Amino acid sequence: MHRKVYLPVVAVAVIFIASQVLIVRQVWLQKDEVFKLRYRSVAREALSEMMVKTGDSGFDKAYYIIDGAAALYYDQVQWLTTEEDSAKFSAKVREKFSDVLIKDQILSSYISGGYEKLGLEKNFKYNVFINELYLIGFDKKYQLYSATKEDRIKVKNESQILVNTFYSEANHFRISFDYYIDITNKKYVLIREITLTMLLSLASLLILSVIFMATLRNYLREKRLSDLKTDFINNMTHELKTPLSTITVAGKTLKLDEILNSREKILNTANLIGKQSIHLNNLINLILEISIWERAQFQLDKRETEVEELLRDVAEGFRNGCGSECTFIERYNLNGSKANIDALYFTTMINNLLNNAVKYSPGDPKIVLEANRADSIAISVEDNGIGISRPNLKQVFEKFYRVSTGNIHKTKGLGLGLYYVKKIAESHGGSVSVSSKPGKGSVFTVYIPIT
| C-alpha to C-alpha distance for 302 and 264, rounded to whole angstroms | 45
Asked if residues 412 and 350 have their Cβ atoms less than 8 Å apart, the reply is no
Last residue in a domain, options 295, 322, 342: 295
| C-alpha to C-alpha distance for 131 and 344, rounded to whole angstroms | 101
264-301, pLDDT tens digit by residue?
Answer: 877 887 887 887 787 677 667 666 666 665 555 567 78
Residues 156, 287 share a domain: no
252-271, pLDDT tens digit by residue?
Answer: 777 777 777 777 877 887 88
Reduced to 3 states (helix: H, G, I; strand: E, B; else coil), residue 370 is: strand
Residues 6+ apart with CB under 8 A from 395: 401
| C-alpha to C-alpha distance for 252 and 257, rounded to whole angstroms | 11
| C-alpha to C-alpha distance for 245 and 332, rounded to whole angstroms | 44
Residues 320, 207 share a domain: no
Q: Which CATH number belongs to the domain containing residue 367 in this structure?
A: 3.30.565.10
pLDDT of residue 238: 58
336-383, pLDDT tens digit by residue?
Answer: 889 999 888 888 888 888 888 888 887 788 899 999 998 899 999 999
pLDDT of residue 309: 92
pLDDT of residue 414: 55
Q: Which CATH number belongs to the domain containing residue 261 in this structure?
A: 1.10.287.130
- The 3-class secondary structure across 164-176, one letter per residue, is EEEEEECCCEEEE
Residues 325, 288 share a domain: no
Residues 114, 222 share a domain: no
Last residue in a domain, options 246, 278, 295: 295
Residues 353, 278 share a domain: no
Reduced to 3 states (helix: H, G, I; strand: E, B; else coil), residue 392 is: helix
Asked if residues 220 and 212 have their Cβ atoms less than 8 Å apart, the reply is no
What's the total number of domains in the chain? 3
pLDDT of residue 375: 87
Confidence of residue 192 (pLDDT cuts 50, 70, 90): confident
Burial class (CB in 10 A: 0-12, 13-18, 19+), 2: exposed
What pTM value is reported for the model? 0.46
Residues 177, 37 share a domain: yes
Residues 245, 101 share a domain: no
Residues 136, 210 share a domain: no
pLDDT of residue 279: 66
Q: What amino acid occupies position 288?
A: L
CA atoms within 13 Å, Cβ hemisphere of 262:
11
Residues 392, 244 share a domain: no
Residues 172, 222 share a domain: no
- For the ranges 160-174, 201-215, 254-268, 402-416, the lowest mean pLDDT is seen at 402-416
pLDDT of residue 189: 75
Confidence of residue 66 (pLDDT cuts 50, 70, 90): very high
Buried b / exposed e over 268-306, threshold 16 CB at 10 Å, is: ebeebbeebeebbeebeeeeeebeebeeeeeeeebeebe
80-120, pLDDT tens digit by residue?
Answer: 888 888 889 999 999 999 999 999 999 999 999 988 888 88
Residues 135, 122 share a domain: yes
Reduced to 3 states (helix: H, G, I; strand: E, B; else coil), residue 435 is: strand
The predicted model gives 21-26 an average pLDDT of 78
Q: Return the biggest CA–CA distance within the chain.
A: 149
Residue 411 has pLDDT above 50, yes or no: no
Domain extent, residue 91, equals 2-193
Residues 310, 253 share a domain: no
- Distance from CA of residue 292 to its chain's centroid? 37
- For the ranges 195-204, 271-280, 397-406, 439-448, the lowest mean pLDDT is seen at 397-406
Last residue in a domain, options 193, 221, 240: 193
